[in-house]
Structure 1
Amino acid sequence: MKKIFKSPQIIASLLFLVVFALISCSSSDDSAGDEMQEEEEMLGDTDYDISAILSKFEGTGLSYAVNGNTVTFTTADLPNHTSPYWPTNNPLYEAYNGTNSSWNKNPNEIAEQNIVFTITLNPKEATSKQATPLGPIGISRNGVVFFNQYAGPDQPLTNEINSFDQYLGHPTGRDQYHYHIEPTYLTQEFGEDAFLGLLADGFPVYGPVENGKTITNSDLDVYHGHASVTPDFPEGIYHYHITSEDPYINGNGYFGTSGNISR
């Protein structure tokens, strides 16, 4: 039988590599564990207060009033930017000048609405999650309403996207203007990492960038959000992110409990 001899230097080197690998794995696991613990602590926090961001809401025909632990937004749902969907005699009328070569104007126009949201100032995770409805599911900081990822019951936006104007909004058959996907007027105006509005459960909506990184669906949970620190909430808060892929704004429903929406 042939004996194999290993020098003390080789044995020492092998032991060093094994110890280094164990320390690296432990360090990586600890880092991931710390991140998960931080997010769990934020999710478990029942003291969220969104009062500080209300001053960021400003738009034509948009107002809000605080009553106890709720805020009531009343919006005329009129965008503060140009669009081919304004009547041609409106100063904000502008022919389509976006980048969609398949753009196809729908037959509707922008018209004044009366939409009222009553939203909690202290959002928290709902015990039983509810799907978002068709129609308004939240309000952007310029007063235009957010819609979910469907063109109709379980119908994707595939064809409807071709009717979005240069700022990626369009009106319904009842002339109700809305955003299904990134409201590029707002991200151009305030930044791709900016606060963009609230969903009806009180949790904020942010743009597609966070800490210099473009957020993808894989970074978010099934409701299309996560808990982390934001410029507006230095202690951290659960929030939604707009991304470039379906479901765009919201996933499997509200993370919190929806307030009342009337129109």
Structure 2
Amino acid sequence: MKPYKPLIAILMLGAIIMACKKDKQSDTTTSGSANGSAATNGTVGTNVPAVYKKIYGATDIYIEGDYVVIKTNGFPDHKSPYYSGTAWASTKYEAYNGTNPLWGQNPNKIAEADATFKIPLNPKAATTHAATPLGAMGVAVNGVDIFNQYAAMYSPLTNEANGFDQYGGHPQQQGVYHYHVEPTYITANKGKDALVGFLLDGFPVYGPLENGKTITNADLDAYHGHTGVTADYPSGIYHYHITAADPYINGNGYYGTPGTVSQ
């Protein structure tokens, strides 16, 4: 058996190194709800800054170099008429009970839509401001995609908005549920001035209220944001605000340099 001792020692050393490496970047399983601050049945890396732990709908959050990686499954944590006819209908379906008299349900249904968002850990203003895409331009704290102010083919949301459910979202053809406007389930539960999510450039998105004042487009720059102190950033940071009027969440492109999203 003696000839095998060096091999056993090498294998044991390798196992120790891997264990240490895992411990250094260990993930802690946490749970939460719309009123909580931790990922729902997901994992959060121990070195993830506290503000990103407010993304309670993520399945996984960790740091990768200069980026925060946020993984989601795309399911809204609230009920919706768009759960009708799905495997989750018995617990997640809710008939439309909003206030839009022109509401009409589109033919799409909510489906699982796994996504990986990779956003800058330390966002900075971009020299050249890239346009936001049709599709995910950010992620809400409940793990739902945030889309820009356009419908397909960069059309206005005028008609499409009549298909938004009572919480401000709807699914597209592949079943990806998303928000173009204020996600009212989040702002109702966390506050109109609360953190709503992050755009791909790493800058945070806040609700329509700031210091007791309802924010309008006139209070914001061309990218639909401004710099100031927030509850999460006491030293100040550029941040976007949701408003009741077009462009709702983002204006003429990203203020910073966007990371990536894969779905």
Q: Shorter-chain-normalised TM-score: which range?
A: 0.7 to 0.9
Q: Which amino acid is 2:162 matched to?
A: N
Matched residue of 2:92: which SS? Answer: coil
Name 2:221's counterpart in structure 1: 221
Q: List, as ranges, runs of 4+ consecutive aligned residues in structure 1 with deviation greater than 4 Å.
A: none
1:51/1:121 contact within 8 Å kept: no
For residues 154 and 146 of structure 1, what CA distance do their matches in structure 2 show? 15
Name 1:25's counterpart in structure 2: none
Greater radius of gyration (CA) = 1
Alignment of 1:245 with 2:245, yes or no, is yes
For residues 123 and 251 of structure 1, what CA distance do their matches in structure 2 show? 18
For residues 237 and 149 of structure 1, what CA distance do their matches in structure 2 show? 23
Alignment of 1:69 with 2:62, yes or no, is no
Matched residue of 1:53: which SS? Answer: helix
Q: How big is each residue's C-alpha offset from its partner over 1:46-86, in whole Å with a ceiling of 9 and x where there is no partner?
A: xxxx9331110112x63211123211111111000010001
Q: Which amino acid is 1:65 matched to?
A: Y
Q: Which amino acid is 1:76 matched to?
A: N
Matched residue of 1:261: which SS? Answer: strand
Matched ranges for 1:136-147 at <5 A: 136-147=136-147
Name 2:49's counterpart in structure 1: 51
Name 1:31's counterpart in structure 2: none
Q: How big is each residue's C-alpha offset from its partner over 1:164-204, in whole Å with a ceiling of 9 and x where there is no partner?
A: 00001000011000000000000000000000000000000
Q: Which moved more, 1:63-72 or 1:124-133?
A: 63-72
Q: Which amino acid is 1:54 matched to?
A: Y
For residues 131 and 153 of structure 2, what CA distance do their matches in structure 1 show? 12
Residue 154 of structure 1: how far off its partner (Å): 2.6
Q: Which amino acid is 2:78 matched to?
A: H
Name 2:21's counterpart in structure 1: none
Alignment of 1:83 with 2:80, yes or no, is yes
Matched residue of 1:156: which SS? Answer: coil
Matched residue of 2:178: which SS? Answer: strand
Q: Which amino acid is 2:74 matched to?
A: D
Unaligned runs of 5+ in 2: 1-47
Q: Which moved more, 1:79-88 or 1:157-166?
A: 79-88
Q: Which amino acid is 1:107 matched to?
A: P
Matched ranges for 1:92-107 at <5 A: 92-107=92-107
Matched ranges for 1:110-189 at <5 A: 110-189=110-189
Residue 153 of structure 1: how far off its partner (Å): 2.6
Name 1:258's counterpart in structure 2: 258
State, as a whole percentage, how many aligned pairs show the same letter: 58
For residues 185 and 133 of structure 2, what CA distance do their matches in structure 1 show? 25
Larger RCO (CA within 8 A; separation ≥ 6): 1
For residues 173 and 90 of structure 2, what CA distance do their matches in structure 1 show? 19
Matched residue of 1:90: which SS? Answer: helix
Residue 110 of structure 1: how far off its partner (Å): 0.6
1:104/1:162 contact within 8 Å kept: yes
Unaligned runs of 5+ in 1: 1-49
